[in-house]
Chain A
Amino acid sequence: MPMLEITGFGKRFTIHHLDKTMRATENIHFTLDAGEFIGIVGKSGSGKSTILKSIYRTYLPDEGKILYESDRFGLVDLAQVSERQMLYLRKYEIGYVSQFLSVMPRTTCRQLVTNALLEMGELEEIANSEAEKALIHFELDPKLWDSYPNTFSGGEKLRLNIAMATVKKPRLLLLDEPTASLDQQSKVKVREIIEKLKSNGTTLVGIFHDIEFMDGLCDKVFDMKSRTLVMEQKVGVSSES
């Protein structure tokens, strides 16, 4: 049973002001089993982010099905579930990570990660210690813990985002261009983090414009241009572990 199965997905944007409808993407099909990592590649504008944001309901999907095997609700179509169900899934099962940080202002790095746990109903003490563990795990400098993240670098923001998402132990994690505009050193760090997540059994969907970087890390690659799913050789982390 795949954890995520996307069939015939498509998305259009209608801008009433300009009386225009634009097609962002269409005909997307792929499946993903639990514990797998799928990379979606394609040039910018090909609709990669649209897929990811539609899975997370930041965009309203309008064609096809996004079937997800939920712990709480069983098999659901993410294009159809109620808003309240989607909020539950976001809180407990599906995480979304990008390089952009949109968080409550005037909240320190440490508070943000702690709050992510508190809103799940975790006890304050546990939340505090788990938050610290996550910050250490994703190698955020302790000097940064008690400062506001708006002045963080791109790489630091990304790692904070990953810490906030993964501290909740999501079953499915969506990574929106996690390596874009990072230097080589930060990219290597991101790669290590993804390896860590994978070895913890998290199912991952990631979009990348440079796939070489993900070489050997993805189990599957979906190419936006040819609309095909390529199985990668099981090399790298997955065979080692």
Chain B
Amino acid sequence: MYETPILQVKNLQKQYGPGCCHCNDLENSMLEKNFCKACGTVYAVRNLSLELYPGEILGVVGESGSGKSTMMQCLYFDTDITSGAAYINRPGKELENVFDLSSQQKRFIRNHDYGMVYQNPVHGLKMNFSSIGNIAEKLIAAGNRNVADMEETAKRLLTNVHIPLHRMKEEPENFSGGMQQRVQIAKALSNNPPILFLDEVTTGLDLSVQAKVLDLIKKIQRELQISMIVVSHDLAVIRMLADRTIVMLNGEIIEEGLTDQVLEDPQHAYTQQLVYSLL
């Protein structure tokens, strides 16, 4: 190995339900898709391992219900995991499984190492706070206390995402979907996170707005060298953004490879179906 991953996830598992003798065994569990008929347990994410390297964009594709968003929520501590480990390459803390940390320490990671952009801006923004206030909130959480500095940072970020500064004191609820998404991205970037999670960020935006958001993401990667996990069911988005791609089905990774290889020479039956369905 010639480089160290910035984020390493090992055997991540998230299940809803107790599990039973019919489904506990990973190798020969008798599941219907990701559902155990004997005990009713749903396996949202099963034995998922991945590595994210510095400065790369890792694409995650899969149909609705394949566990993409659950995986992101687990990594961002939005939901508890069933089992598994994740290691962030932070000085002196490389061997700490972040899922074992206290909630304060998890919050510290969220405030300093992670940024998250949700598909629905309602989850990432306080809709009735001003846009600049939303960004300040994250900056304060990250330990910032100087108002002038924070205002300057917020202005720079909003300019970067093309939000006119004369509207910075407005609440995001007055904004269009695309603008809300860009405010959310500005907020997620405000603490200079080395790792950024993007969950279906362009879904539901019209094409020209989608294009602007994609350009912005690409620019962020190039200029700030931030590592990103980009979840999308849209292969065109993944093709545009991701260096490497993993394909999920029923909570498991079924294929991974270089993005152009996954799209041009897919190996798994499901990936082939996905790619051949592309218009």
Contacts and interface: CB of A to CB of B under 8 A. Distances in A.
Q: Is A bound to B?
A: yes
Contacts of A85: 2
B260 A87 contact: no
Contacts of A17: 269, 272-273, 276
A88 B55 CA distance: 12
Interface string A109-131: 00000010011000000000000
Nearest to B1: A82
B261 interface: yes
Interface string A80-109: 001111111000000000000010111000
Nearest to B276: A17
A148 B2 CA distance: 37
B258 interface: yes
Contact of A87 (B215, B240, B243, B269): B243
Interface string B259-274: 0110011011100110
B222 interface: yes
Interface in A1-49: 13-17
B218 interface: yes
Given A15-B272, A17-B272, A57 B243 contact: no
Given A57-B261, A115-B222, A106 B276 contact: no
Contacts of A57: 258, 261
B269 A16 contact: yes
A59 interface: yes
A136 to B, nearest CB: 24
A58 B261 contact: yes
A53 B1 CA distance: 24
A106 B240 CA distance: 12
A217 B85 CA distance: 56
Given A87-B243, A87-B244, A58 B265 contact: yes
B265 A60 contact: yes
A152 interface: no
Contacts of B222: 115, 118-119
Interface in B224-255: 239-240, 243-244
Q: Indicate the member of A16, A57, A86 with the most B CB atoms within 10 Å.
A: A16
Contacts of B87: none
Contacts of B276: 17
A16 B267 CA distance: 9
Given A17-B272, A87-B258, A59 B244 contact: no
Nearest to B218: A104
B267 A60 contact: yes
A47 to B, nearest CB: 14
B53 A84 contact: yes
Contacts of B38: none
A89 to B, nearest CB: 11
A213 interface: no
A73 B267 contact: no
Nearest to A124: B223
B265 A104 contact: no
B272 A60 contact: no
B107 to A, nearest CB: 31
Interface of A: 13-17, 53, 57-60, 72-73, 82-88, 102, 104-106, 115, 118-119
Interface of B: 1-3, 53, 56, 211, 215, 218, 222, 239-240, 243-244, 256-258, 260-261, 264-265, 267-269, 272-273, 276
Given A83-B256, A106-B211, 14 more contacts: A16-B269, A17-B273, A53-B264, A58-B264, A58-B265, A59-B261, A60-B267, A82-B1, A83-B244, A83-B257, A84-B56, A102-B239, A105-B240, A119-B222
30 contacts: A13-B265, A16-B268, A16-B269, A17-B272, A17-B273, A17-B276, A53-B264, A53-B265, A57-B258, A57-B261, A58-B258, A58-B265, A59-B261, A60-B261, A73-B2, A83-B257, A84-B3, A84-B53, A84-B56, A84-B244, A86-B258, A87-B243, A88-B2, A102-B239, A104-B218, A104-B240, A105-B240, A106-B215, A115-B222, A118-B222
List the 10 shortest-distance A-B pairs measured between CB atoms, nearest first: A16-B269, A59-B265, A58-B260, A58-B264, A60-B265, A83-B244, A83-B258, A87-B243, A58-B261, A57-B258
